Amino acid sequence: MVSLKKRYMLSNLQHGFLRYPYEHTLYIKFNPKGDVLIVGLYVDDLIFTGNSLKLISEFREAMISQFKMTDLGLMSYFIGIEVRQLAGGIFISQKKLASDILNKFKMNVTKPMMTPVEEKLKLTKDGTGDFVDATYFKRLVGTFRYLTSTKPDITYGIGLISRFMESPCQSHLQAAKRILRYVQGTQSNSIFYSSSQGSNLVGYTDSDWAGDTIRRRSTSRYVFYLGFGVFSWSSKKQQVVALSTAEAKYMAATIFHGRSKHIDIKYHFIRELVQEQEIVIDYCRSEDQVANILTKPLKLEMFMKLKKMLGMVKFEDLDLREAM
C-alpha cells in the first residue's frame, strides 16, 4: 500500500518533472537556462540535488510548505549507505553494516585476508568436506549481497558462492568465510567520487567462458564510471551457453539484451551506436581490463591494481588528503 503522503509527493513531482524511465522513483527537471534539479524518492524520504541553488531552494521550500517535513541538511546516510561529503568529493561506504555482519557471524577478530577469493579457486557442486547447514549458508550469502552496493570488489566472490546455496559443503563455507576475512580487513575501503576528475562516462565489459562448472554458462561483467568513481557494475550469467570465447564476449558487450536465445540481430545494436557516434569503442589490454575483478580470482598484485582503478580507497587515507 502506498502512503497518502507518498501519493501526494508523486503527484507533485510529476508537474514539471520528467520521470526517469529506468528508475521510477527518480525525477529530473530542466529549465530553459540549462539548470537541472534531480529528485530521488524513497518511501516518504526525499533526496535532491542540482546545479542551481535557486531551483534547490525553491523545491525545498515547496515541499516543506506542503508536507510535514524536516530538512536534514547535506545527506550523510541513506538506505544503509553512509555518505561523507568532503571538499574534494564524496565518499560512500557501509562500514557499520560490515561491522554488524562480522559480529553476527563471529568473524570480527579473525585474521584478515588481502583478497576475497583464493587465486585459481575452483568450486564444484559436489564440493569437499561434510555438508553444512544450508539455512546458515543462505543467511550468510544473503547478508553479503547488501555490501555489494558499495563494495564491487567482493561481487565476484559473492556470485561464486551463491551457486551452491542448496547443498553447501565445507569447501563452500570456507570460501564464504574468506570473504568475511577480507571484509574484516577492508571495512573502511569504499568508493570515492572526486570532484576534480570530470564527468566522462566510461564503461568496461568482459566475460569468462563457461566459468560456471555446473551448467557451463559464461558470465558477463561490466563496470561504468562517471569521472573517477565507479557507479554501476554487474556480474551476471548469460542466458545461453556460449560455444566460444568470442561468442561469450560478444554477448557481454550487449548485456542489457541478455535474454536472447542466441546471438541474433539484437546484438548488432552496438554497431549502430558506433556508426551514429553515440559511443566510442577502444581495445583494452587484459592487464587494464577493470571488469576482470568481477570475472575471476586474481593474483594479489593485479587485484590491488584493479581495485584502485575502481576508485576504491581507504577513508582514513583519503580524509587526510581530501577533507581540506
Residue whose C-alpha cell is 560456471: 212
pLDDT of residue 122: 85
Q: What is the pLDDT of residue 257?
A: 44
Compare 319 and 167 and report the one with higher pLDDT.
167
CB-side exposure of 59: number of CA atoms within 13 Å? 26
- pLDDT confidence band for 6 (50 / 70 / 90): low
With beta carbons less than 8 A apart as the criterion, state whether 151 and 187 touch: no
pLDDT digits (tens, 9 = 90+) for 93-112: 999 999 999 999 998 888 89
Is the pLDDT assigned to residue 186 strictly greater than 90? yes
Q: Is the pTM here over 0.85, yes or no?
A: no
In the predicted model, what is the mean pLDDT of residues 181-193?
Answer: 93
**pLDDT higher than 70, residue 243:** no
Q: Is pLDDT at 115 greater than 80 in this prediction?
A: yes
pLDDT value of position 180: 95
Over residues 212-216, the mean pLDDT reads 58
Q: Where are the domains of the chain?
A: 4-73, 197-301
What pLDDT shows up at residue 136? 94
**Spatial distance between the Cα atoms of 229 and 235, rounded to a whole number of angstroms:** 18
* Higher pLDDT, residue 177 or 1: 177
Residue 307 pLDDT > 80, yes or no? Answer: yes
Please compute the mean of the pLDDT values over residues 268-295 and round it to a whole number.
83
Select the highest-mean-pLDDT range: 204-218, 231-245, 307-321: 307-321
Residue 73 CB burial class (10 angstroms; 0-12, 13-18, ≥19): exposed
- Report helix, strand or coil for 5: helix
- Report the pLDDT value the prediction gives residue 50, as an integer from 0 to 100: 92
Q: What confidence category does residue 1 fall into, taking pLDDT thresholds of 50, 70 and 90?
A: very low
